[in-house]
Structure 1
Amino acid sequence: MNALTGKERSLFGLPMPLIWGYIATLIFMVGDGLEHGWLSPYLVEQGLTIQQSATLFTAYGAVLAVASYFSGVLTEAWGPRKAMILGLVIWLVGQVLFIKFGLEQHNYAVMLPTYAIRGFGYPLFCYSFLVWVTYRSPQKVLATAIGVFWAAWIAGLYVVGSYFPAYMIPKIGYIGLLWSAVAWVVVGGLIGILVVKGEVGERSTKPKETFKSLISGLTICVENPKVAIGGIVRTINTTGIGALPIFFPLYLNSQYGFTTEEWLQMWGTMWVANIVFDIVIPWISDKWLGWRKTVMWIGSFGCGVMTLVMLYTPQIFGHNFLMLTIAGMLMGAALTGYVPISALVTSLAPDKKGSAMAVVNFGAGLSYFIAPALVGAFIASIGVHGVMWVFAILYFISAILMHFMKLPAEEKREQAGGLAGNLAGSAKG
């Protein structure tokens, strides 16, 4: 089952089941993201070191990376609904154990595995839905459909997930806020499970075929190296931005006096800008600029520049909330340039979209392992400045890698243009 029929289309060529799935993603990610902007500073205040906090997020990221990979292949092997149910259940179990026996008991040994377990949750739920989106969206609006998914994902994780804590922490406290996350995830999870129906291709229940599905994300990287490059680019995409909450608010507070509330407000506003451009940039990419050039220039090069702007803005302007917020908004806009990477990679493997998405999703999850690992490894030796430069350089490397991500049609056009040029040169000679 691929693109939907005309009778099912509703908004921007997208069917209502997808629209409800986007809403479910938003609500689910609110619950998943309520601690994202403040957990690291909170743990440091409770007596942990930055390195211990980074290790916690590294363990979470490692599990998240594995779950992100399996979200693609399990969606093809089991169907999206079963994968989403599994993600919902695991998230709830991990959250309850993390709060009750980890945070409330101030037990780091329990925090580490339980927070990591929770990392299985949202990739299996949200990324399985994203695979469904890639199969069921018309090709001509594929980047737009993926952009709407990321807009919903970001609206939940970073926007509501930032503003809601900023408002509610003084009222119900940090632990109360984490318990409220359970309600958000249950509501979003039930909506998603109810609206996502059908499969994403031919499936087999035979163990041998299921095993083939599980390793298909590995074999496709050998068969089609461009898919592997796309996975690397997707990893870089959220490595830099995913690391910021671990150390940057502490840096802003200690050096320039920014409070946690100011950080959360700036962080949320940055993602509001991202949501706006999550719709605009993919549409421009679909219509004019092209997927590869959008990722190369707006996403990769743009994020490299804006990472440095984020670093040097407080040094130039001091404790200036407005200027830092403007820098954050520009960073949020630049990040949307990466949205077409999913459309590009799946188009490189049209008959194995689930396997291709497994690679892309694995890259997305892997970034949440690499980001805190880099912070933990280098923050003590090269400091905030050095770490920010490392992330900026990674973004610039991403731009270079995109040079090799040409679709077959683009390569044919370039070859035809080169041939025509050679013929014209020969004629003149």
Structure 2
Amino acid sequence: MKSQKLLFGFMPSSLVWGYIAIAIFMAGDGFEAAFLSKFITDMGFSEAQSGLVFTIYGLMVAISAWCSGVVAEIITPQKAMFIGFILWSVMHVCFMIFGIGMGSYPLMVICYGIRGFGYPLFLYSFVILIIQNVDKSKVSTAMGWFWAAYSIGFGVLGGFLPGYINPIIGEYNTLWMALGWVVVGGLISLIALRNVKTDISKEKLSLKKKTEELSRAITILFSNKHIFMSALVRIINTTPIFGFAVVMPWLLVGKNVTDHGLGFTKTEWQNIWTVFMFVTIFTNVMWGILGDYIGWLRQARWFGCIGGAIACFLFYYIPITFGHNYWMVMIPAVLFGFTVAAFVPMTAVFAALEPHHQGAAISIYNLSAGLSNFVGPGIATIMVPLFGIIGAIWCYVGLYIFAAILTLFIKVDQPR
């Protein structure tokens, strides 16, 4: 099933439009990332209520992400992507009409939460296509391009455009605009990926065998300790990203019971967020290539974990020290963009640890990535009322140090 047709020697040529679809789809999904938490509090809800919306959403993302790898194998990645696309679109409409539109907090939680099932099915099913079509020695590089496409969409387009669109059409209408981007990305994937090679052997399995394969996405955590430790590292990888999307607007823009805003405008914060994500476009590709030479886990340990701990520390203490200094806050944003991308080879680690059950291994990878959507805001929801924003920041720093220690105990054979 592996195809050696690689554009420029590293990008799978048959999947190019898939990368483009990911970028466009995730742009729509990322429209609200930098302003929705503040928008909800501006509606009159508390920060704890706003944090809970994201926490429930993150939990649903984690469940969907866990299922996506095996589901993509047993029904084909293309079908799984279609289901994710439709689910996201329908529930976003419900969230806008019945949640935000009616000002109903319970419906906001329910609709936004269910919408969380959509994007992981779309996003991570594409990872299975990559695994099935790329030689294992090039998986890290191909995944670097995958996360670059994600960054272009979720971070750059999804972060940059709302900062300039919001003042013109308002945040509510900006949220509606997100639907258009998702629809375009979804349609591109349906058309462009329909003939891409995929392993259909598991699609023909009996219902009993498919159930067994799905259950392996749980049991593999207990049967392979290296998968378990790798899962913890992958959770920690992007936990601060989703945590910062919640807490940093409170610190930089608004006021709350524990901290005072530092005078930044919403547009300034969204530009800082965009710069961070813009940097990851290039660093995802860079670390994807370097990981095949430096060593997957060595790179994640020193540049991802230790570097990430330093970046989190500076992301809080630089604005606290220098106040409303737009360009100084760009420094930790750029540094964080370098460090968070150093975990790109973790996909290759998971696949190499379970070469005969790659769908189950990638499901655990996806679960871990999804859990960071839950853990990041969850830490903010718990820590900020108790210890302030500084408590949440130090929690993120501590997690990165813990992840660095874990990488010392993971054993994986890297091709080369």
Counterpart in 2 of 1:59?
56
The answer to which of 215-224 and 83-92 deviates more is 215-224
2:198 aligned with 1:202: no
CA shift for structure 1 position 387: 1.0
2:144 aligned with 1:147: yes
Matches within 5 A, 1:79-94: 79-94=76-91
CA deviation digits over 1:121-171, x for unaligned, max 9?
A: 110001000121122112222111001000101110111101110111122
Q: 1:364 to 1:244 in 2, by over 3 A?
A: same
Contact residue 25 and residue 152 of structure 1 kept, 8 A: yes
CA distance in 1, matches of 2:117, 2:81: 11
2:278 aligned with 1:275: no
Residue among 15, 23, 27 paired with 2:12: 15
Residue among 347, 357, 362 paired with 1:357: 362
CA RMSD of aligned residues (A): 1.5
CA shift for structure 1 position 388: 0.3
CA distance in 1, matches of 2:88, 2:353: 32
Larger radius of gyration: 1
Matches within 5 A, 1:385-400: 385-400=390-405
Counterpart in 2 of 1:218?
218
Counterpart in 2 of 1:164?
161
CA distance in 2, matches of 1:409, 1:281: 15
Counterpart in 2 of 1:421?
none
CA distance in 1, matches of 2:250, 2:266: 9
The answer to which of 305-314 and 217-226 deviates more is 217-226
The answer to which of 154-163 and 369-378 deviates more is 369-378
2:181 aligned with 1:180: no
Counterpart in 1 of 2:256?
none
Kindly indicate which of the two structures has a greater share of residues assigned to helix. 1
Q: Which runs of 5+ in 2 are unaligned?
A: 254-259
**Matching residue's letter, 2:295:** G
Contact residue 34 and residue 165 of structure 1 kept, 8 A: yes
Contact residue 11 and residue 145 of structure 2 kept, 8 A: no
CA distance in 2, matches of 1:309, 1:134: 36
> What fraction of aligned residue pairs are identical, expressed as a percent?
35
Counterpart in 1 of 2:130?
133
CA shift for structure 1 position 409: 6.2
Which 4+ runs in 1 deviate beyond 6 A? none
CA deviation digits over 1:345-385, x for unaligned, max 9?
A: 11111121111110010011111111222211121111111
The answer to which of 18-27 and 275-284 deviates more is 275-284
CA distance in 2, matches of 1:13, 1:332: 22
Matches within 5 A, 1:21-420: 21-196=18-193, 197-200=196-199, 202-203=201-202, 204-253=204-253, 254-287=260-293, 289-408=294-413
TM-score, length basis structure 1: 0.92
Length, aligned pairs only? 407
CA distance in 1, matches of 2:370, 2:205: 27
CA shift for structure 1 position 34: 0.5
Q: Which runs of 5+ in 1 are unaligned?
A: 414-429
**Matching residue's letter, 2:121:** L
Structure 1 counterpart SS, 2:399 = helix
Contact residue 220 and residue 227 of structure 1 kept, 8 A: yes
Contact residue 352 and residue 413 of structure 2 kept, 8 A: no
Contact residue 33 and residue 158 of structure 1 kept, 8 A: yes
